[in-house]
Structure 1
Amino acid sequence: MHVIRVVVVDDEALVRSGFQLILNAADGIEVVATVGGAEAVARVREERPDVVLLDIRMPDVDGLTVLREVRTLPDAPVVAMLTTFDTDEYVLAALRHGAAGFLLKDTEPEQLAQMVRTLAAGGIVMSPKASRTLLLSHPGAEAADAEETARVERLTARERDVLMLVTEGLSNTDIGTRLHLSAGTVKDHVSAIFAKLRVTSRIQAALLAQRARLLDERNRPRTGR
């Protein structure tokens, strides 16, 4: 079984040790490093983890700066932000810069391990305490402009189905199960969605879907390919 390698980046030693204890106790997960912000990029480059849990607010190095640097690394790991507030004003910026979601530091232990597994499988995560208000409560979360709306309208019905499940944080395998498609077919659909929407991550696609009001169609039955 593949072991999910995790690096925890936080300025508080207590938070780092707590996450390490919880995750190392979970099957198939190993915390390979816990560091502060100043050491983060170097350790990620050295350890080549699958997942990085990154504090969004640190006194030595800003979490957004670390995120941008980590995302430029070859075979960059999945990054999720750690915060104490589910309406943290920096969360939306982090998501738009390629973070795959965010977790609250007081996330329940069993949820934490499952979130790490979801991230490693290519899904996105949001704290259970968060809601759509996160995406609507900050500047920049306004409705999509005409060009963005046109991109969304170029999606096929099946691509819209896939995108709406992406916004739920599902991995390609889980989306395939839900839509009775192979994981490979879902991967092809996700790649097409990225190209049409001109985004580079699942969370960016989800944010655009939100702004374009595509999620309002969630409860409408769809047919077609």
Structure 2
Amino acid sequence: MIRVTVVDDEALVRSGFELILSAAGDIEVVATATGAEAVDTVRRERPDVVLLDIRMPDVDGLTVLRQLRALPEPPVVAMLTTFDADEYIVTALRSGAAGFLLKDTEPDQLAQLVRTLAAGGVVLSPKASRAVWRGHPGAAGADDAEAARVDLLTRREREVLVLIAEGLSNAEIGTRVHLSAGTVKDHVSATLSKLRVGSRVQAALLAQRAGLLDAGRRHPDSGR
């Protein structure tokens, strides 16, 4: 079972997410909490995944994120937002969030997104992440240093990077490109090292900034 905690200041949102996720046979919502209750609740319940509201009146979602990431065994955290161009999302992703979900995500997609997070994937809506970067000063595209690092990637590593950015776990990437999980893990490690990033989310954001996602859809075989 995937253990989930939902943190939001609105009781209706908490109960709605709990109802939707509890209908999935492999997901258990072990607790819901307000921002002020979040850290103590996570320490007590030890969930695998936390869905965390990015804007709360009692405590800043970014503050809660930093506190959760500082725990000895931090859960995977994805931010919840009602805005597809929320100014805080970029900061959250750079602070260790594994992605973000819009609160109006279709109910039939929500459980699969939680499974992706639990499996080590990232959740970045392409439409929403484009809007985030457009609204973030200085984030119109990859700078020269980032572009140079992307150029170091082999064709296979670029393919893996695009699949990381699409939210796939190592096992799912292996299925897509017909490689073993161990080989995919090696490719992911090499890709993160060449890009000089510390997480899959940072790699996914760099891919977005470098235009690889759109380029990959137009030219699936592009790259070296």
Same-fold call, TM cutoff 0.5: yes
Q: Residue 85 of structure 2 aligns with which residue?
A: 87
SS of residue matched to 1:37: coil
* TM-score of the superposed pair, with normalisation by structure 2: 0.90
In the alignment, structure 1 residue 53 sits paired with structure 2 residue 72: no
- Equivalent pair of 1:81/1:102 in contact (CA under 8 Å): yes
Q: Among 9, 12, 22, which residue is 2:10 paired with?
A: 12
* TM-score of the superposed pair, with normalisation by structure 1: 0.90
SS of residue matched to 2:59: coil
Instruction: State how far apart, in whole Å, the 2-side matches of 1:18 and 1:70 are.
Output: 23
Aligned-residue RMSD, C-alpha = 1.9
SS of residue matched to 2:36: helix
Instruction: State how far apart, in whole Å, the 2-side matches of 1:108 and 1:217 are.
Output: 27
Q: Among 121, 124, 142, which residue is 2:122 paired with?
A: 124
In the alignment, structure 1 residue 171 sits paired with structure 2 residue 169: yes
Q: Among 107, 110, 116, which residue is 1:109 paired with?
A: 107
> Which runs of 5 or more residues in structure 1 are unaligned?
none
Percent identity among equivalent residues?
73
How many residues align structurally? 222
> Which runs of 5 or more residues in structure 2 are unaligned?
none
Instruction: State how far apart, in whole Å, the 2-side matches of 1:46 and 1:131 are.
Output: 33
- Equivalent pair of 1:135/1:207 in contact (CA under 8 Å): no
1:86 CA drift (Å):
1.4
Q: Which aligned segments of 4 or more residues in structure 1 are displaced greater than 6 angstroms?
A: none
Deviations 1:91-124 (A, max 9, x none): 2221222212211222222111111111111122
- Equivalent pair of 1:172/1:186 in contact (CA under 8 Å): yes
1:214 CA drift (Å):
3.0
Mapping 1:1-225, distance limit 5 Å: 3-127=1-125, 130=128, 132-218=130-216, 219-220=218-219, 221-222=221-222
1:143 CA drift (Å):
2.2
